[in-house]
Amino acid sequence: MTTTLACPLCRSDKKMHKAKLLYGTPVCRKCLYKFANRRQIGYVLDWLLWLFISFWLGTMLGFLLGVMDVSDPVFKRINFFLAWFVFPLIFFCKDGFVGYSLGKLICGVRVVHIETLQPQGFLSSFKRNLILIIPFMPLVIAFLLNKGHRLGDGWAESKVIWKKYANHPVFTGQLACENCQYDLAGNVSGVCPECGTPISVVNQQRIRVVDSASPLLVQ
């Protein structure tokens, strides 16, 4: 495989000597970690927000039940239900607001469908986040998400994209113009015939890959 000169995302060649694969495409380490950090920070923000919401909901409900003078067993059952079903459910569904949680919105990352690239809803969010219930899994995932896909994305058929590069082939995985999404299969001119944008290094690679039918970079 030929090494590329510039990172397809930041277009700098400074860190490309140790390029890493993001969704199967070589990018510079700086971009790789920047994207991973956004996802990690987004998660921590969501987690803090969830703790805050759970705490206040729990406190308010506890107060309410106290005023209503419910019996101890009922109080315990409601507590159990909240702790094991309602609060976890809120967390699992957090990415379902058209692909955003508050943390993801702040950090500029979004959950989309792996093929259609459409923003995902609550069911998909539930599927991809259910795995976080396993102890220490969030930590494990935090270290493993550098490549792009993380555990849980398979079942949910989801992927996380960097909003700033939403149309970039690194994230779309498609051989299409970053600017206008025109299909670039078989392109030889080096510019997009639809909008005139020069064809990026990633797309040049993808054209070569498609032409030579090599399994490299094909996701």
- Residue closer to Zn ion by CB (options 132, 217) is 217
Sign of CA dihedral 163, 168, 171, 177: positive
Please name the residues in contact with 4: beta carbons below 8 A apart, sequence gap of 6 or more: 16, 19, 26, 201, 205
Q: Are 97 and 107 in contact (CB under 8 A)?
A: no
Beta strands 25-27 and 20-22, pairing class: antiparallel
Whether residue 104 contacts residue 42, with contact meaning beta carbons closer than 8 Å, is answered with yes
* Closest distance to Zn ion from the beta carbon of 169 (Å): 12
In the complex, the smallest distance separating the C-beta of residue 129 from Zn ion, rounded to whole angstroms, is 28
The footprint of Zn ion (CB under 5 A) covers 7, 9-10, 28, 31, 177, 179-180, 182, 192, 194-195, 197
Query: CB 167 → Zn ion: shortest distance, Å?
Result: 10
Residue with smaller CB distance to Zn ion, 7 or 109? 7
For residues 118 and 174, is the Cβ–Cβ distance under 8 A? no
Q: Minimum Å distance from CB 25 to Zn ion?
A: 11
Query: For residues 109 and 132, which CB has a smaller minimum distance to Zn ion in the complex?
Result: 109
Q: Please say which residue, 5 or 53, places its beta carbon nearer to Zn ion.
A: 5
CB of 205 to Zn ion, least distance (A): 15
Closer CB to Zn ion, residue 26 or residue 96?
A: 26
Beta carbon of residue 110, minimum distance to Zn ion (angstroms, whole number): 19
Closer residue to Zn ion, CB minimum distance, 65 or 117: 117
Q: What sign for the dihedral angle of Cα 137, 139, 141, 143?
A: negative
Beta carbons of 127 and 99 less than 8 angstroms apart: no
Q: Contact at 8 Å (CB) between 146 and 37? A: no
